[in-house]
Chains A and B, each alone.
Chain A
């Protein structure tokens, strides 16, 4: 669903400084009942990520890390069953999953005496059962489960959603009889940048020729769209010509400004498709 910049700003403003919990999400849905849940969640997530990016450094100073770790230790000593880490994260306005990471890293550093590898940390966050300390394992798990913007579970859901929409798009292309090359095939051929689908025969969508389609199972806000343009869409254009981006969870209307130049935005599979007619063959 397309949102005007103003509509989007209203939502973003409401999100201001909310915590990434299901409670916040519930409030958001109540406030904007006309918007789809997925759109709201996507915007929520993006807004929260922006907020975190702004404050990321602040939470990673040596002092901050030490403070958090000590507070965690004293907290669990008092009551190991209490949501110590989660509450700490909420208190300092930081993502629970990221707080869990900081404390886990610090914990392992103390235990092993060396800085633990990223792989190990990631693996433990994904599966807290591997964490040698039972209490910390519970605390970490509580954080990752309750975080609706960061963490392995959320990442996985996002990945799954992305994959599902790619499959949906593929189905629609097949249904429309539009032959395409999918990302895997393109990779195998050695393409350096690959959109989700390259149409073997270009089509016109709403009067614009397109050569490729990229599926984005998220909301297209300014920030993410700019990043996508720079890292992906223009790169596709540079190699394959004009194309279509489908933001399944909508986008800010005003961002659809590169149509003439060859980047088309849609929030659903287009209906106005004109294909090349093989008039010669028909005769």
Chain B
């Protein structure tokens, strides 16, 4: 059996290495085409036995295996039992191994039918169908039926190009044909435990007893990809979907698996029987069922030569990207490395001879690892450590061991452990969120509520979604839809979509889809590994590869982990066309913005990456993560309407594809992809496009448009052969290969339920990007071997020949024509070129600084104009309006227009002033921000460019918006003016002169609230009802008034309402004092006689009234409603008393006049109107008398002492009469 393989190897490596096409070889192309799938299948087949016997290292069904061994079989089932069961299956598949070699034949409907099995056949069929159909559609294209512009323009073109492109990659192998990337996890034969086949293989009925198949994705295959989405708004499906990321409809749920796996891991970690014998040290910890594990021994390896050849062959396939997913292969190799199966010595199957025992498997694995050392060496540190400490490697290849050790020691790649960040809200920004951004008050108000409802829902979800029985749709569905209705009614969708998107980014931009408190724990594997100095290291290493990244497997389908789940479920529950559309708009915009990020190339340097470089990396990483997140959601939304639960039939497909071929894509990813290739920005663009495409529906891959996208991606994949070259860093390539491999695997399998964070993606993305600064990729003409890429090359060559051709200008001068005298086009062009040239040889930070300054100064300039010129104009408008509003109550809007029109001319000054501002501020800022050693010339140029750009930005905005701005501001002021007009204007006038507390005020006065409260208490007692002995102490009152004065003097804590209330209360108090209704206690010693007591009492009250009058006059800022003293109610207090006290009343009248609180005439008129009210006749008489006295006194203008004397008389009379 060796010689054919050797020749194949030669054949293959010839074609691979020489990239040479001979017409003579064309007939062999079929053979070549079949070779890779054959090899991969062969390896899977050969190793199935040994891996199956392992405890938890199935090649294709990691999790199911783990589960099975722990859950169903446990330790009871012996290895031989299992072997027996499995070998039957593998035998049957083995028999078909060669007959099924050609992918085409394995895809026959007949094979599919046979491939179906109970329980999960539909999903398998779906997987097969999609895989088949993808393959078919691309084949058709290749056959020339497809768009002529498509990448895989077919063999016709190749034959034209062939001989001339001596360096062309081995397209003879037809590797751009998807069919040659065998769908691995999709195939039922593959996912089936006993069979390790790569191609979909018809499976005999013998295996129908086997457990539900598990694919690499670790999720039950029984769920079709469509089940990720409900069909339309079907709530049943919804319920099934949103029950966690991975719910199977018919099979066991991933959740269960997780639980079991957790238990399993737990038991592993607690395994007390870890053997101490060195021979067992690494294997023992792996043992889950006390199975004795063979110790790998180099001396026991058989057929070394063959294994070496196989390893070389296999490595070549990996190295040349002939396998659909290199990480899957690495995964496989590591499985072999860590396999622990005792060999089935009784199994003498000829074909299995090479991998009949652990020793051989390990030997092979170490050989492959040795060849793939370059990739391995880029693994993150923790993994490297485990590999470096692997005893099998150490004993089988001391050389590889040493290199791994070295790589580990020099490695800086760490998986970043993000700390759980608490959920943060999107901050309110007046520029986008205040009233002026809404069409009406109502819309503004409604959105205010919606923002709060949204967060309420979010909090509720956060609190409850992990509780058993909690159901998103049931609990939140109706509330979300009610909210959508409100949004629709108020046309607020765009605002909400923005909020939604911002919150999404804020919460989910981390690598694992959000803070750890929100679901997924951040990579327990990594956490475990960090403290790894115990015997379970190998177990961990194994686990890491067997169940990488929380058992998602190396090729998990996209999911919405962590808080992404909330956003997905929200979209589903909302079921709002408007919302989805706005959200898609918003996502597209943000994606385009981020995709346009300026990428700065850094020369790889030996030393520490400088600050700029690090910032650049951070910026890049952040953009990349966000892009992937947004693209995933965009993909979700775009393909959502086409998702179906059941895989649609072929008939349906044809009509659907015909139909959908007519529509334009929401986001032109093909264009963006081409541009990114051209501009050497694939490192940023490909990962997010992959995320977007990972959510395609059943039909999308068959659409012309997406077919082209996939073809281009495939070309890219094939071109990125991993080797260190100067044009594109190894890690960049690795990243792209990882994501593409993942996507291809996904598409082929089309059995996808969960896990957006790819094992390899995760590792690469968390890599600190030390190599990721060689952005993009540079072509050589030889690189291009199909029409599509050649076209790209043509434009590339025409566009820029420079090595740094990917220079991206973020700010392009779009000089507003109205603003500047326009230089000739050529001159302009020259200037642009000069400017670009200027930056070219400067450090990238200079460019960023200039752009930044321009951006900020431009923006500040507009703000400055608003605050100065516009504010001034508005003030002037206010004056003009105030006059005119008084004249005529006429048409307000007309008035407004007139006034504004007068201002517009002056508004034109804005441009002039703006330019001045930029000229002043720009250079300042640039000078401060640039390093001091910057030469004067560079500085000047930088300043000039910054000023130019800032001016341009500001003036462009101002010239188009100044009039609207003036009008808006004037209108706002005018509306405020109309509202305010009236009472408050006059009160402002009266308070105008007063300012704050007296000098040296310590602000120790009692609080107004305290004084109001105390006065209220006094009023209470005075008004009653009160207890017999209840009263107010005189000193207490005296003190209260003194404190009132203090309180009023200190203005610190005073507010208008407090002061007005104090004024009103004190007038009430005065009225009650005047009518002698306040039960004042403790006036004078009790012994005094009655008349003296009376007089003393009156003097005391007079004293209090005097204090009040003085406070009213001196301390109040607001007008005191002293007129209330003459109200029906307050004068009534006097009337109700049997022995009426007019002295105090008269005293008050004089006091009011003397303190200037009321005029004579005013009092007279008050008294007069009092007399018109309904009183008892005797009271009316008294009132008239008092009135007369007051009037006569003031008309005579007698000295102040007299009134009291005079008053005594009438009072006496009154008393006598009553």
Contact = CB atoms under 8 A, between A and B. Distances in A.
Contacts of B1025: 83, 86-87
Interface residues of A, number: 42
Given A22-B1020, A142-B1023, A129 B1012 contact: no
Interface in A164-202: 164, 167-168, 189-193
Interface string B406-449: 00000000000000001111011010011110000000110110
Contacts of A86: 1025
A202 B1086 CA distance: 64
A261 interface: yes
B1063 to A, nearest CB: 11
Given A159-B1057, A193-B448, A164 B1012 contact: no
Given A160-B1007, A192-B444, A238 B425 contact: yes
Contacts of A261: 422-423, 459
A163 B1053 contact: yes
A223 B410 CA distance: 61
A234 B452 contact: yes
Interface stretch (B190-198, B270-278, B1127-1135): B1127-1135
Contacts of B1007: 160-161, 164
Interface in B1058-1073: 1058, 1061, 1064-1065, 1068
Contacts of B1065: 153
A160 B1009 contact: yes
B1024 A260 contact: no
The dominant DSSP class at the A interface is helix
A164 B1009 contact: yes
A241 B424 contact: yes
B456 interface: yes
A262 B1023 contact: no
B444 A153 contact: no
Contact of A137 (B1012, B1055, B1057, B1128): B1128
Given A134-B1132, A138-B1132, A129 B1061 contact: no
Nearest to B1017: A22
B902 interface: no
B1008 A145 contact: no
A216 to B, nearest CB: 15
A129 B1124 contact: yes
Interface in B436-487: 436, 444-445, 447-448, 451-452, 454-456, 459
Contact of B425 (A138, A191, A192, A239): A239
Contacts of A156: 1012, 1057-1058, 1061
Contact of A131 (B445, B1020, B1129): B1129
Interface string A208-237: 000000000000000000000000001101
Contacts of A168: 1053
B1140 interface: no
B136 interface: no
A232 to B, nearest CB: 10
A195 B436 CA distance: 21
Interface string B997-1020: 000000000011100110011011
Given A156-B1061, A190-B430, A192-B448, A260 B1136 contact: no
A57 interface: no
B296 to A, nearest CB: 50
A157 interface: yes
A146 B422 contact: no
A16 interface: no
Contacts of A250: none
Interface in B1125-1162: 1127-1130, 1132, 1136
Given A142-B1024, A190-B435, A157 B444 contact: no
Contacts, number: 123
Contacts of A87: 1025
A192 B433 CA distance: 8
Contact of A127 (B1008, B1020, B1055, B1064): B1064
Interface in B1024-1073: 1024-1025, 1052-1053, 1055, 1057-1058, 1061, 1064-1065, 1068
A189 B455 CA distance: 23
A94 interface: no
B427 A141 contact: no
A129 B459 CA distance: 52
B434 A192 contact: yes
Contacts of A22: 1017, 1020
Contact of A128 (B1016, B1055, B1129): B1129
Contact of A160 (B435, B1058, B1129): B1058
Contact of B1127 (A81, A129, A145, A260): A129
B425 A160 contact: no
A8 interface: no
A204 B433 CA distance: 27
Contact of B1016 (A126, A157, A189, A192): A157
A239 B428 contact: yes
B563 to A, nearest CB: 14
Contact of A234 (B456, B1008, B1132): B456
A104 to B, nearest CB: 13
Contact of B455 (A127, A159, A234): A234
A189 B433 CA distance: 10
- Residue from A83, A142, A145, A237 with most neighbouring chain B CB atoms (10 Å): A145
B452 A235 contact: yes
A107 interface: no
A164 B428 contact: no
Contacts of B447: 192
Nearest to B1012: A157
Nearest to B1025: A83
A160 B1023 contact: no
Interface string A239-268: 111000000000000000000111000000
A269 to B, nearest CB: 16
Contact of B1012 (A126, A127, A153): A153
A282 B1025 CA distance: 67
A134 B1128 contact: yes
Contacts of A142: 1023-1024
A240 B451 CA distance: 12
24 contacts: A81-B1136, A83-B1024, A87-B1025, A134-B1129, A134-B1132, A138-B1023, A138-B1129, A138-B1132, A142-B1024, A145-B1020, A153-B1061, A156-B1061, A157-B1016, A159-B1057, A159-B1058, A160-B1057, A160-B1061, A161-B1007, A164-B1008, A167-B1053, A192-B433, A239-B427, A239-B451, A262-B422
Given A160-B1007, A192-B433, 17 more contacts: A127-B1121, A129-B1129, A134-B1129, A137-B1129, A157-B1061, A159-B1057, A160-B1009, A160-B1057, A161-B1007, A164-B1008, A167-B1052, A190-B430, A190-B434, A192-B445, A234-B456, A238-B454, A261-B423
Interface of B: 422-425, 427-428, 430, 433-436, 444-445, 447-448, 451-452, 454-456, 459, 1007-1009, 1012-1013, 1016-1017, 1019-1020, 1023-1025, 1052-1053, 1055, 1057-1058, 1061, 1064-1065, 1068, 1121, 1124, 1127-1130, 1132, 1136
